[in-house]
């Protein structure tokens, strides 16, 4: 028997066939499964659209969910189950929770960079405040093709402007992020947006529909045709046809979203709410089915009541519209006036469009006709949505590139003489992947909300938790080259580096969210890389005993030129109990001792030096010791808690020399505190290495620290306690801007000019 009630027939606009299903991105097998869920009948046009949206890769995670379930999700701090709410939530004490998530908006940005990036910010913001949390900080992780190409430059500039305009109008500070350039991102740029919010435990909202007969409201903006097929559009490779898919890119209104944010938080505060969900991918189809499936209920929706901004919209279009700044709300019968009053006060729509039912069926009506009657559970992840594990095949290039012999370069290097070393460092500092991101982050408001402790420019940002002494440290990180060369270790390294990025600020890592950017999963080599990355992420998280609270998978970042370099972006959150102990990323003006903490084992494999000087991406990436990484993070947190550090910064792109410059250069004041490295230290780190490898090779598990001379002995004892190697590297030169690397010297002002000028011509 059909899920439609026995006395009500379905309106069938046309006879649906397998061919129609294939046109919607569904397989023949999936179409047969849909028929089974519908009691043996063919779906209506509207039903086919709903299934195509909810069963798309973007919504159902059908090719990734079984892999994702291998990731660690348990934590004593966890307040939500991974994947069951709009975002993850972790306890930070005193009845408060940090709510955070990262998501992609890659395909829309590649087609319409301004709106694509802007609505990516808007969508992730809604995921946070739909939970009842007030956003306090945002970040972004961006990947583009080389900026000397006009098209890449256009995409970058418009995307950055879209991010800035939306976030600035909304009034949420940017705390940090990353920007990386590589030719593989020329046709498929990546825009990953992360938001962090704070909520009281007792005010956390849920995405659920309960209580048959309870009213269902649509609140916020009106519904138009923008964004239709956005979910399925994000579940296919980009091609020349994609240029005509601009209707699949949403259009945002940040001023409307600001009103929606305040109205939503006021509604949550009122205490009458049963459930609320953002209308993101697949729009009303997704929100209605997921809320009812989670509650074990159904919904009856009358689309004639939905506020529209375009004439002639049919049920298919209304259900799949991804128009921005809209929510679906369920509340108890008798509380309708509360939601209407609140949203009217903020100048927003609040219209009852249906009610919760008891039978688990999602019914949709338009023009008095029943257009859809689908079991809600059949649509959703964890219910009837398909789940696959694809075939894998190890790519041949992994072994070929791993065998690359860099020994001659490592022993001597093209930079050997003092003048060559200086020239190489200047080139690295000016290179697009290392130079100052000021032209980007100065387009963002980093001060709004008065929560900033450490803003963009350091390894990780730190925001004050309003009304407390606590701080939240945040970081987004992934070295796409490392993952390309060694998917498993490269992904574990991304977890470790993001942990270091919050630890150098004095925060203890407590959880991650992820945004997994890969090529077409039906290509065996791509799926092998994806599977290996998941395994590496699991190993990294287990090493730090932190959970994955949620995230996003973005497949099909692929064109006729091939896939992007695999980019499993890690969004890390750390907690500082006393934000006054946060550690700055640059040397203080006073004279102090400089230390290198960690096992220094530089490599040119996959390094910026190798790419810059030879144009190659190959070799063995730096060794990774997960226990040593954990020890380093524990040491950094203990040293911060004991007020033993004046500054801390981890070693990453560009190696030791780059990290020393970035420690010496205060990007806020644009001043350089010079330093002198001890010759004894240089001899130790040289060993049998050449100068170029020591200065410009990249290593895991290391940080550059500075401390008062009076605290040096205690810092050494603390390092010994955590079994962390600690080398006395040099001293800060108060009143001087000269950076003395022992083997060569450099005027800090000259280095700063190179560093600040790297992106200036492009942006």
| Active-site annotation holds for 667 | no
Which of 24, 105, 355, 667 is labelled catalytic? 105
* Rounded-to-integer distance, Cα 751 and Cα 151, Å: 29
Which stretches within 321-393 are classed as H helix?
A: 336-345
- In order, the DSSP letters of 502-521 are HHTTT-EEEEEEEEEE-S-T
Q: Which two tokens stand for residue 243?
A: 């240029």
Distance CA 229, CA 50 (A): 10
CB hemisphere CA count around 372 (13 angstroms)? 32
24, 58, 107, 667: the active-site residue: 58
Provide φ and ψ at 197, rounded to 5°: -135, 170
Angular region, 94: left φ>0, alpha ψ -120 to 50, beta rest: left
Strand 671-672 with 665-666, pairing: antiparallel
Q: Is the Cβ–Cβ distance between 703 and 756 less than 8 Å?
A: no
Cα Rg of the chain (Å, integer): 26
Round to whole Å and give the CA distance between 327 and 338.
16
Strand partners, 93: 96
Please tell me the distance from the alpha carbon of residue 570 to that of residue 539, in angstroms, as a whole number. Answer: 14
Residue 687 near residue 410 (C-beta atoms within 8 A): no
The verdict on whether 358 is a catalytic residue reads no
The partner residues of 597 in beta bridges, in order of sequence, read: 703, 726
How far, CA to CA in Å, does 639 sit from each of 504, 505, 716? 10, 11, 10
Q: Which residues have CB under 8 Å from 302's CB, separation 6+?
A: 353, 354, 365
Q: Return the residue matching tokens 């923008």.
A: 226
Which residues carry out catalysis?
58, 105
């Amino acid at each position: 028997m059909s899920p439609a009630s026995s006395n009500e027939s379905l309106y069938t606009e046309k006879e649906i066939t397998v061919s129609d299903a294939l046109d919607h991105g569904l397989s023949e097998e999936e179409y047969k499964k849909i028929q089974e869920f519908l009691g043996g009948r063919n779906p209506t046009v509207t039903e086919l659209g709903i299934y195509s949206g909810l069963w798309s890769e973007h919504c159902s995670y059908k090719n990734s969910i079984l892999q994702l379930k291998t990731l660690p999700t348990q934590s004593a701090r966890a307040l939500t189950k991974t994947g069951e709410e709009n975002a993850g939530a972790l306890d930070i004490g005193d009845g408060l929770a940090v709510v955070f998530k990262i998501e992609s908006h890659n395909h829309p940005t590649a087609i319409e960079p301004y709106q694509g990036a802007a609505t990516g910010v808007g969508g992730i913001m809604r995921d946070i405040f739909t939970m009842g949390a007030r956003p306090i900080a945002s970040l972004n992780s961006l990947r583009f093709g080389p900026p000397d190409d006009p098209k890449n430059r256009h995409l970058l500039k418009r995307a950055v402007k879209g991010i800035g305009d939306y976030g600035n109008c909304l009034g949420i500070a940017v705390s940090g992020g990353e920007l990386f350039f590589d030719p593989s991102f020329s046709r498929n740029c990546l825009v990953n947006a992360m938001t962090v919010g704070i909520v009281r435990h007792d005010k956390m909202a849920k995405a659920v529909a309960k209580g048959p007969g309870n009213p269902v409201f649509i609140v916020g903006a009106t519904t138009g045709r923008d964004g239709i097929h956005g979910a399925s559009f994000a579940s296919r490779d980009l091609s020349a046809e994609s240029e005509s898919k601009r209707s699949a890119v949403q259009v945002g209104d940040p001023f409307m979203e600001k009103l929606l944010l305040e109205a939503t938080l006021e509604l949550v505060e009122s205490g009458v709410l049963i459930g609320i969900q953002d209308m993101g991918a697949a729009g009303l189809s997704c929100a209605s089915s997921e809320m009812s499936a989670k509650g074990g209920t159904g919904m009856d929706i009358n689309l004639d009541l939905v506020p529209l901004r375009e004439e002639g919209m049919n049920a298919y279009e209304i259900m799949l519209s991804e128009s921005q700044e809209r929510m679906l709300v369920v509340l108890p019968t008798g509380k309708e006036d509360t939601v209407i009053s609140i949203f009217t006060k903020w100048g927003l729509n609040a219209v009852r469009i249906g009610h919760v039912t008891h039978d688990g069926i999602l019914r949709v009506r338009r023009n008095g006709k029943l257009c859809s009657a689908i079991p809600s559970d059949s649509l959703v992840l964890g219910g009837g949505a398909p789940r696959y594990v694809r075939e894998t095949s190890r790519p041949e290039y992994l072994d070929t590139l791993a065998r690359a012999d860099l020994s001659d370069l490592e022993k001597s290097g093209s930079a050997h003489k003092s003048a060559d070393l200086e020239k190489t460092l200047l080139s690295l500092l000016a290179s697009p992947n290392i130079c100052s991101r000021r032209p980007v982050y100065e387009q963002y408001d980093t001060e709004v909300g008065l929560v900033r402790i450490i803003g963009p420019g350091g390894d990780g940002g730190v925001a004050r938790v309003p009304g407390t002494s606590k701080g939240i440290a945040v970081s987004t990180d992934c070295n796409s080259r490392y993952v390309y060369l060694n998917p498993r270790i490269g992904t574990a390294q991304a977890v470790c580096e993001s942990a270091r990025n919050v630890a150098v600020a004095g925060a203890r890592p407590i959880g991650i969210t992820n945004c997994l950017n890969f090529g077409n999963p039906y290509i065996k080599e791509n799926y092998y890389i994806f599977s290996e990355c998941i395994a590496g992420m699991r190993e990294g998280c287990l090493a730090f005993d932190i959970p994955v609270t949620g995230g996003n998978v973005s497949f099909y970042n692929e064109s006729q030129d091939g896939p992007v370099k695999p980019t499993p972006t890690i969004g890390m959150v750390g907690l500082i109990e006393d934000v006054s102990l946060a550690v700055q990323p640059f040397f203080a003006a006073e004279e102090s001792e400089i230390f290198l903490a960690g096992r220094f084992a530089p490599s040119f494999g996959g390094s910026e030096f190798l790419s810059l000087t030879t144009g190659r991406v190959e070799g063995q990436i730096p060794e990774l010791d997960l226990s040593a990484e954990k020890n380093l993070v524990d040491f950094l947190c203990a040293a911060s808690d004991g007020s033993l550090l004046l500054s801390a910064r981890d070693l990453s792109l560009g190696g030791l020399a780059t990290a020393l410059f970035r420690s010496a250069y205060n990007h806020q004041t644009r001043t350089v505190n010079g330093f002198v490295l001890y010759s004894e230290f240089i001899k130790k780190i040289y060993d049998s290495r050449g100068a170029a490898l020591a200065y410009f090779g990249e290593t895991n598990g290391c940080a550059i620290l500075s401390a008062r001379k009076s605290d040096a002995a205690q810092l050494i004892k603390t390092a010994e306690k955590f079994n962390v190697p600690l080398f006395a590297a040099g001293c800060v030169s108060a009143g001087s801007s000269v950076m003395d690397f022992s083997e060569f010297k450099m005027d800090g002002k000259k280095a700063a000019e190179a560093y600040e000028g790297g992106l200036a011509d492009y942006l």
